[in-house]
Structure 1
Amino acid sequence: MNVVVRHQAEALAAAGHHVEILTRRSSPLSETEQLSPGVTLRFLDAGPARPVPKGDHENFIDAFRLQMDALGPYDVIHSHHWFSGMAALPLARRRGVPHVQSFHSIAADPSTPLSAGERPESPGRMAGEEWLAQESDALVAISEAEAHTIVQRLGGSPERITIVLPGVDGILFRPTDLLPAEPRDYAAGPRDIRGYAVVAGRLQPLKGLDLAIEAIAAVPEAIRPELVIAGDASADYDGYIDELRALAARHGIERSVRFVGPQSRVDLALLLSGARIVLVPSHSETYGLVALEAAASGVPVVAAAAGGLREAVLDGDTGVVVDSRDPQVWAGALTQILSNPAFARRLSLAARERAEHLDWPRSADGLVTVYRSLVRPGAGDRSPSLLRA
Structure 2
Amino acid sequence: MTTTTDPLRIGLVSLHTSPGDEPGSGEVGGMNVVVRHQAEALADRGHHVEIVTRRSSPTQPDSVSLVPGVCLRFLSAGPAEPVPKGEHDAFIEPFREGLTRLGPYDVLHSHHWFSGVAALPVARDRGIPHVQSFHSIAAAADTPLSEGERPESAGRPAGEQLLARESDAVVVVSSAEAETVRDRLGGDGARVWIVPPGVDGSVFRPAAASARRADVPYVVAAARVQPLKGLDLAIEAIAGIDREARPTLVIAGDASSEAGDYVAELRRLAAAHGIADRVTFVGPQSRADLAFLFRGAAAVLVPSHSETYGLVALEGSASGVPVVAAAAGGLREAVVDGETGVVLESRDPGVWAAEIAHILTDAEYAAGLAAAGREHAERLSWERSAAGLEQVYRRVLGRE
Q: TM-score with structure 1 length normalisation? A: 0.92
Query: What are the Cα deviations for residues 82-105 of structure 1, in whole angstroms up to 9, with x where unaligned?
Result: 000000001111110100000000
| 8 A Cα contact 1:110 1:120, kept in partner | no
1:21 to 25, 48, 51: 51
Please report how far the alpha carbon of residue 115 of structure 1 lies from its aligned counterpart in structure 2 after TM superposition. Answer: 9.2
Corresponding residue SS for 2:249:
strand
Q: Report the CA distance shift for 1:116/1:159 in structure 2 as closer, same or farther (over 3 A).
A: farther
CA distance in 1, matches of 2:138, 2:346: 22
Residue type of the partner of 2:235? I
The answer to whether the aligner puts 1:132 opposite 2:163 as a matched pair is: yes
Answer yes or no: is the 8 Å Cα contact 1:139–1:162 preserved in 2.
Answer: yes
Q: Name which of structure 1's ranges 2-11 and 327-336 shifts more when overlaid on structure 2.
A: 327-336
Maintained 8 Å contact 2:320/2:374: yes
- 1:6-61 per-residue CA deviation (whole Å, 9 max, x = no partner) reads 00000000000000001111112222221100001111111111111111100000
CA deviation string 1:307-335 (max 9, x = no partner): 00000001110001110111001111111
Contact 2:113 2:134 (8 Å CA) reproduced: yes
Q: Is 1:245 aligned with 2:276? A: no
Change beyond 3 A, Cα 1:122–1:150: same
Q: Name the structure 1 match of 2:246.
A: 224
- Between 1:109-118 and 1:98-107, the stretch displaced more is 109-118
Q: Distance in 2 between matches of 1:375 and 1:182?
A: 53
Q: Name 1:206's counterpart in structure 2.
A: 228
- CA distance in 1 between partners of 2:192 and 2:138 (Å): 18
Aligned to 2:99: 68
Q: Deviations along 1:93-145, whole A, 9 cap, x unmatched?
A: 11101000000000014532469884453221111101100000000000000
Q: Partners in 1 of 2:125 and 2:201 — Cα distance?
A: 41
Q: Which residue of 2 aligns with 1:382?
A: none
Distance in 1 (CA, whole Å) between partners of 2:146 and 2:355 is 20
Structure 2 match to 1:170: 201
Against the structure 1 CA distance between its residues 20 and 182, is the aligned structure 2 distance closer, same or farther, given a 3 Å change threshold? farther
Consecutive aligned runs of 4 or more in structure 1 exceeding 6 Å deviation:
none
Query: Within 2, Cα distance between the matches of 1:358 and 1:367?
Result: 14
Shift of the 95–120 alpha-carbon distance from structure 1 to 2, 3 Å rule, reads farther
How many residues get paired?
369
| 8 Å contact kept, 2:145–2:151 | no
Paired AA for residue 41 in structure 1: L
Choose from 11, 20, 32 the match for 1:2: 32
Q: What is the 5 A alignment of 1:58-97?
A: 58-97=89-128
- Root-mean-square deviation (CA, aligned residues, Å) is 1.7
CA distance in 2, matches of 1:260, 1:16: 39
Q: Secondary structure at the match of 1:52?
A: coil
Contact persistence 1:107–1:120 (CA under 8 A): no
Residue number in structure 2 paired with 1:354: 376
How many percent of aligned residue pairs carry the same amino acid? 66
- 1:139 and 1:58 map into 2 onto residues whose CA distance is 21
**1:108–1:116 CA contact under 8 A, matched in 2:** no
Note the residue ranges of structure 2 that are not aligned, 5 or more in a row.
1-30
TM-score calculated relative to the size of structure 2: 0.89
Shift of 1:374: 1.5
3-state SS of the aligned residue for 1:321?
Answer: strand
Distance 1:94 1:120 in 2: 33
Q: Deviations over 1:255-291 (max 9, x none)?
A: 1111111111111111111111110000000000000
Question: Structure 2: how far apart are the matches of 1:244 and 1:49?
Answer: 32
